[in-house]
Structure 1
Amino acid sequence: MGLFSGTFFGHLADKVGSKPIYCLSLLIQGICCIGYLFGGNIGIFIACLIGSIIFEKGASAARGAMMVEIVSREERVKFRALTRVIVNGAACIGAALGSIVLILNAESVFLIAILFNGLTFVATSFIFKCMSIKGKKPVEQIILTNDSISQNTSVLTALSDKRFLIITLLNSVLALHSSIINIAIPIWISQYSQLPIWLVSAVILINTIGVILFQVKVGENVKSIRDATKVAQKAGFLLAITCIFIGMSNTVPIWAGIIMILLAGISQLFGELYQAVSGWTFSFELAPEDAYGKYQGIFNAGKDASLLVSPLIFTSLVLPAGLLGWGALTILFILTALCTDRLVYSNKLLKG
């Protein structure tokens, strides 16, 4: 349900403006979060859960469209990189506060934490509502002043954009890396090797600090589809190297395995940074001016699908197969990297 709701909300953002859709999505997320206080009723709990998922995707699509409205084309990727750094930093603070809640382990504290979290969504919605954000022209006005076919882009038209769908698919393959740090490496170290468990924390720390330090730097150097294609290829090759390091780590002495896992953490970090930047650039640059919301929704749906299936791929296929599984994933990342340039600039896709 969440996979498809982003496209719908993106369509609404294109029709009525991104700001009202974003504010509404935040408000309902806050209400749903506060609704968990009444989670003893299974019906209320399920309704709040579904609402949170749907409107989270809606907020994501509207947020992407809003960036297009308030940030110049040259600065969009850099701005998106900066927001990711801020989000990661906030997530670290949230994790620390959450750990305090767990340590206190009292019902009243849990209830206060849930209420506080819900109120942050409501407050953010109110803040954005009060902000002066220049919106885009209504679609009808754009159509009257511009005869370009791209100015009347429907959801079906967006879904028939072969080039964009192919890029979304390629980005989704590269986005499989999302489960390497949080799922694959912890399980690999604890169940498939003799490596020390502290390596899990070390790799997560490398990733967290690395994103904060380098994401903006990587993002400010990507200005065009050509740049995005190059960094997407780099991402594929770096993620392939990551898989090689991890797969080989339990075939060598422990000291060498430790080094390989740390190197895997570093290569995965930069593969992640490059993949994120290339994805943002493609999603912004390939979308028609009047359809950023729709295209953001479709692109986010591809990424969300990758997040959904990647844990299953690693736990059911890659990890049980050991070195063979990591080798297969290596080949997949390499093929994706090699295909990116050819598919992005395919004359057939450009025409179709």
Structure 2
Amino acid sequence: MTSMLQRLRDVDPVLRILATTTLVATLGRGVFATITVLFLGFAVHLTPGQIAFILGAGAVVAIGCTLAGGHLADRVSARRLALVAMIVTSLSLTAYSLIGDFWSALVIVAVQEAAISVGQSARSAIIGRAFGAESRVRARAILRTVTNVGIAVGSGLGGIALALDTATAYRIALAIAGGVFLLAQLNLARLPARVDAPPAPTAEPGVRRVRTPRPGRSPWRDPRYLALSALSGLFAVQFAVGEFGVPLWVARDTAAPRPVISALLIVNTVLVIVFMVPLSRGTHRIRTAGRLTVVAGLLMAAACAIYAVAGAVPALAAVVVLVAAAAVHAFAEILSQAGGWGLSFELADPDRMGAYQGVFGTAYAVGAAVGPALITLTAIQHGGAGWAALGGILLAAALGIGLIARRAAPAQEAASEASARMG
């Protein structure tokens, strides 16, 4: 971690501020992701259904606040918006330690998800304005790697609370995570003014400003893209499997010790850090992206089956099985994201790229909203049969995406061949 910070001293100051802020903040997020579900279930004594409702409601709030945050980032200072949003996030994270019932949990989660969504939109606007096209990709890659490193370390720290397994340990860990998150975000105040949107031009007196319609096709009138987005949002439920379903499954239905939950998150994070970039190559080709997505669906179905086995074996065997399932799940996540990124760009109208990406991102947010409820209705309530049903649903979504890609690929390949002949 120290060497990473040293290397960042020589890069663009905006990237350095964002990266150091992200590194420290994700330590707190790693702690939070590791223990929050078990805290709500075993310290606050909420049922899986109540936890699923709370997390789903927070995801619904996030959908609207993501759009609102992007709107605000073009009209007010993006750096100040990001700072305020992240301060609210840290305060709400600290407030988790005070949760005592369903209603207080619902309010705090809603506030936190709203603040996180606004902050993420503001940071996206900052990245878009601070870097050119080529360096923007590099900046996103660096920040993604830093995020995974921070979460991995934070997950290890969260394992301490899991090992102690008391309500007091959970509350103290959450309070500390909130404090660390707050200290990290104060660094955003050092961002330069150039990351804010330029002032809107003022019309001359007596001149009426005319809004020019944007060229290109609306994504809401593109059935193929809407289908891609819907199926991708459904497959995004696999994120909730790791963050919501697996912690409850391990704690309630397996003989594995609870600290293994932290280890599973670390396994996922390390594999994503190592393999995300190499396995993403070639996904600008629609056929390749579709094939990777189908493979991801097969792997996710296999991961669900392996998770189910962990509920029927002794403690040591359960740990081995869970680690194997987490590894298979991680590769399903990597391939699905790589394929999804490629398809979301290549099947979009280039003249309306922002609108298309907004639709695709909203579908992911909807998937996050329904994920906990779907997992509760399948794996948590029905055990092995439920895991099989969940795996089948995710596989069906991946096969649907693969079919869309297979039908769209010939047009891209024909265009590439025509371009090569002309060149």
* TM-score > 0.5, shorter chain as reference: yes
| Partner-residue secondary structure (3-state), 1:223 | coil
Q: Which residue of 2 aligns with 1:23?
A: 79
Aligned pair partner of 1:332 in 354, 375, 393 = 393
Match of 2:359 among 298, 304, 308: 298
RMSD (CA atoms): 4.6
Aligned-pair CA distance for 1:327? 1.2
Shift of 1:267: 0.6
Alignment partner, residue 147 of structure 2? 87
The alignment covers a number of residue pairs equal to 326
- Displacement of 1:95: 5.9
User: Contact 1:8–1:297 at 8 Å: present in 2 too?
Assistant: no
CA 1:172–1:131: 2 relative to 1, 3 Å: same
How far apart, in 2, do the equivalents of 1:68 and 1:225 lie? Answer: 25
1:231/1:278 contact within 8 Å kept: yes
1:269 positional shift: 0.7
Relative distance call for 1:54 and 1:111 in structure 2 (3 A) is closer
The separation in 1 between residues aligned to 2:179 and 2:262, in whole angstroms, is 30
User: Would the alpha carbon gap of residues 159 and 212 (structure 1) be closer, same or farther in structure 2, given more than 3 Å must change?
Assistant: same
* Alpha-carbon shift at residue 183 of structure 1 (Å): 2.9
Q: Determine the structure 1 residue equivalent to 2:187.
A: 123
- C-alpha separation in 1, matches of 2:159 and 2:263: 19
SS of residue matched to 2:192: helix
- Secondary structure of the equivalent of 1:222? coil
Shift of 1:4: 1.9
Task: Please state if 1:163 is matched with 2:227.
Answer: no
| Residue aligning to 1:214 | 275
Is the counterpart of residue 54 in structure 1 residue 95 in structure 2? no
- 2:215 paired residue among 143, 146, 149: 149
**Residue 280 of structure 1 pairs with residue 341 of structure 2:** yes
CA distance in 2: counterparts of 1:37 and 1:232, whole angstroms: 34
Distance 1:38 1:251 in 2: 37
Kindly provide the CA deviation profile for residues 29-48 of structure 1, in whole angstroms up to 9, marking residues without a partner as x.
145357669989xxxx9999
Distance 1:281 1:134 in 2: 28
Letter in 1 for 2:82: L
Gaps of 5+ in 2: 1-60, 99-104, 202-210, 412-423
Tell me the SS of whatever aligns to 2:265. helix
User: Which residue in 1 is equivalent to 2:67?
Assistant: 7
CA distance in 1, matches of 2:228, 2:156: 37
Where in structure 2 are the equivalents of 1:198-209 lying within 5 Å? 199-209=260-270
Contact kept? 1:10, 1:292, Cα under 8 Å: no
1: distance between equivalents of 2:158 and 2:317? 36
Q: Structure 2 residue aligned with 1:32, among 78, 84, 88?
A: 88
TM-score normalised according to structure 2 size: 0.61
The CA distance in 1 between the partners of 2:260 and 2:149, in whole Å, is 22
Q: CA deviation at 1:28?
A: 2.5
Give the superposition deviation at 1:238. 0.9
Task: Give the number of the structure with larger relative contact order, counting CA–CA contacts within 8 Å between residues 6 or more apart.
Answer: 1
1:240 positional shift: 0.7
Q: Does 1:174 align with 2:235?
A: yes
Q: Secondary structure of the residue that 1:149 maps to in structure 2?
A: coil
**What are the Cα deviations for residues 161-194 of structure 1, in whole angstroms up to 9, with x where unaligned?**
3333222222222211113233323332333233
Alignment partner of 1:248 is 2:309: yes
Gaps of 5+ in 1: none
Distance 1:134 1:288, change over 3 A: farther
Q: CA deviation at 1:268?
A: 0.2
Alpha carbons of 1:203 and 1:75: their partners in 2 closer, same or farther (altered >3 Å)? same
In 1: Cα distance, 2:184 partner to 2:132 partner: 25
- Alignment map for 1:226-265 (pairs within 5 Å): 226-251=287-312, 257-265=318-326
Give the whole-Å Cα distance in 2 for the aligned partners of 1:252 and 1:112.
36
Letter in 1 for 2:151: A
Using structure 1 for the length normalisation, give the TM-score: 0.71
Query: Does the C-alpha gap of structure 1 residues 250 and 148 become closer, same or farther in structure 2, counting only changes over 3 Å?
Result: closer
- d(CA) in 1 for partners of 2:384, 2:85: 43
Asked whether the equivalents of residues 82 and 215 of structure 1 are also in contact (C-alpha less than 8 Å), the reply is: no
